[in-house]
Amino acid sequence: MRTSVKMTSIRLDTKLADDAVKALGARNRSEAVHMALKEVVAMNKFKQLMAKYGGKFRFEAHGK
């Protein structure tokens, strides 16, 4: 799957962006922003699934 990448200009808190690079293990600010955006989208999808199905599944541990 090929992703679409477009050049854009945004204002960033550079200290925060640099902290994100370190925290995420990214190579640069751009990669850190992409990683953070992917995480936000994944978390939103998870929240939607939990709202829809939360508490409706029964979990039984292995061997019980």
Question: Domain coordinates of the chain in residue numbers?
Answer: 14-53
Sign of CA dihedral 38, 44, 45, 47: positive
pLDDT of residue 59: 67
Q: Using CA atoms, how far apart are residues 46 and 39, in angstroms rounded to an integer?
A: 10
Average pLDDT, the chain: 88
pTM exceeding 0.85: no
Percent of the chain with pLDDT over 70: 89
pLDDT of residue 3: 74
Q: Using CA atoms, how far apart are residues 29 and 5, in angstroms rounded to an integer?
A: 15
